[in-house]
Copies of this chain bind each other. A is one copy, B any other.
């Protein structure tokens, strides 16, 4: 009786102590709540009956912290990690240098292949007793292995017979924060920047460490703190001191900091008259600046640069090439082991050529002219983070210059902070695209992981969706995109579905009644977004002063290539951007088999058809429908998919916590309305050209085109 009373008190106390409120999303996928499967719990308790972790680094300290926090939470009992009695360990963590037991296992060959960040996670007999071993060449490897083991427990996997050999396929796995020094975030939909510059270096917010934990748990090992539209002030000593404070928090978690370098910084903060990359004073200024930076941050990662793009200064201001510009900065950080990530996202207003072609045209001639520590950062597609784009033609086309991937995690063109869109399928689609640069199976993934051209540096970056919203990413489900960015950077060949499954289990529940509908929602969400926004290869149909709602009618603006009509080429004759020989011939930038596939109407995948071809409204699609009808069906199916997502979400009521349930439900309400707006606005507008009816059986738009054209959203976040 007393115990029952006590138990009810516990339950109550937990309630009262506001623990039910803890589902505000702050804990991300590292929630570590107690497992409810009693049988499994017993098995895990045995596996973790005695834990030994050897080593003395800061990384080992945070590893122990994480393991204690994680296992104590998951198992619901105090976990103690001892440095002693290695022989008794049921879980032994250490390098061959720090652990004599592990040293005695003679793992030299296995360890050799996993590099500096990989780990072995396996079950073996120690002293005739079963033990789980995590070992690596470095303490960071051990930390990654520990997070892997925690994930196995969080997702309720059998851990009685493990045998993992795991190492990242890509060296540099980074977040790019488009965060301004005034704490606004360009294309940020989750509040202010998490970097509280004003109170750094004095005040170290607990967020900084939790940010590092989350990143380390998914293998992210670098962060660019500042916006690519850069402010030179970040390179002054006042700010470097603040950056150093962040670097100190991140270091134990294997995360390096990088900064964006404003090309004209020598003028703005250096007092020079020029930023010409061949000017000796400029060269000397950057070299000294790099020295200064490395005094503050000895393991500083390097620079990310947006130059001569959308108004940013760059080497072309002095009639120098991107290579000359990049090499200037690369020289400055080279002695310190730094790298330069130079963005290929360039296009010119004065250039009449198809915007999709310009990066290729500018960069391919420079192949091989960059210093060894320069990586060219290429967006996944040639336009700009559209719901669907064919892969960027640069991939495969620069065998002598490392190319890295830039994905967008923040959903600039995919419903921003409001729409539920799981991006892993988009990332996979790009990774799996075959460039044919060296015969078949020359996938983008093989370009990115260096396999194809033996790049000495490999990297993947994701433009962050993180802000100071309590749940980090604004939309509770958008955390999955941060999660998958890391997982797919570690292994570009991994499965979006498996990653989503892990994320759901860690973030919500191991209950199949929750996993199944949620997985279903997530896996179809990106295609739904493509369909209600820009199906069949349409692109950049977003409204003018933000990229949230529809604006297919946008034309006659100062920059033609910032208008929707530039991309749709909709007219009475048809719709689509002819990028074949009869048009801009952008297909010619692809290797022949790809150019052939995209360039031929019959072989061009219909989901990018209007990206490459201008077709008449009555063109017959594979379905037998006319292009117009197919377009309509796609738009309607996009809306229908969101309604199904909504219904599935509502089925989760009472199964997951109230706070996140209601939050996502509210946002799905908006998403359904938005999807209908997208569908109706686009169909009504394109109908003014096609002059064809909406197919029978589809409900007619309830509003006129004028109504949709008059929607004028103000004060959207992130714009």
Contacts and interface: CB of A to CB of B under 8 A. Distances in A.
A543 B203 CA distance: 23
B16 A72 contact: yes
Interface stretch (A90-98, A133-141, A662-670): A662-670
A19 B16 contact: no
Contact of A14 (B2, B13, B24, B417): B13
A181 B715 contact: yes
Interface in A389-403: none
A69 B181 CA distance: 41
A10 B204 CA distance: 30
Size range of the chain A interface in the assembly? 35 or more
Given A8-B78, A191-B468, A198-B417, A666 B16 contact: no
A199 interface: yes
Interface string A18-34: 11011010010000111
A519 interface: no
Contacts of A7: 6
Contact of A192 (B191, B198, B417): B191
A614 B192 CA distance: 45
Identical copies in the complex: 2
Contacts of A204: 662, 666
A418 interface: yes
B669 A12 contact: no
A83 interface: no
Contacts of A662: 204
A105 interface: no
Contact of A470 (B10, B181, B470): B470
A73 interface: yes
Contacts of A418: 198-199
Contact of A17 (B6, B19, B663): B19
A659 interface: yes
A708 interface: no
Nearest to A204: B666
Which of A7, A181, A206 is most buried by chain B, counting CB atoms within 10 A of its CB? A206
Contact of A32 (B16, B22, B181): B16
Interface string A686-719: 0000000000000000000000000000111100
Contacts of A76: 9, 12-13, 16
A77 interface: yes
A666 B199 contact: yes
A183 interface: yes
A233 interface: yes
Interface of A: 2-3, 6-10, 12-19, 21-22, 24, 27, 32-34, 69, 72-73, 76-78, 180-183, 191-192, 197-199, 202-204, 206, 233, 417-418, 468-470, 659, 662-663, 666-667, 669-670, 714-717
Given A12-B72, A17-B19, A181-B714, 20 more contacts: A6-B7, A9-B77, A13-B76, A14-B14, A14-B17, A16-B72, A16-B76, A17-B22, A181-B715, A192-B192, A198-B418, A198-B716, A199-B667, A203-B663, A203-B667, A204-B662, A204-B666, A233-B715, A468-B468, A470-B470
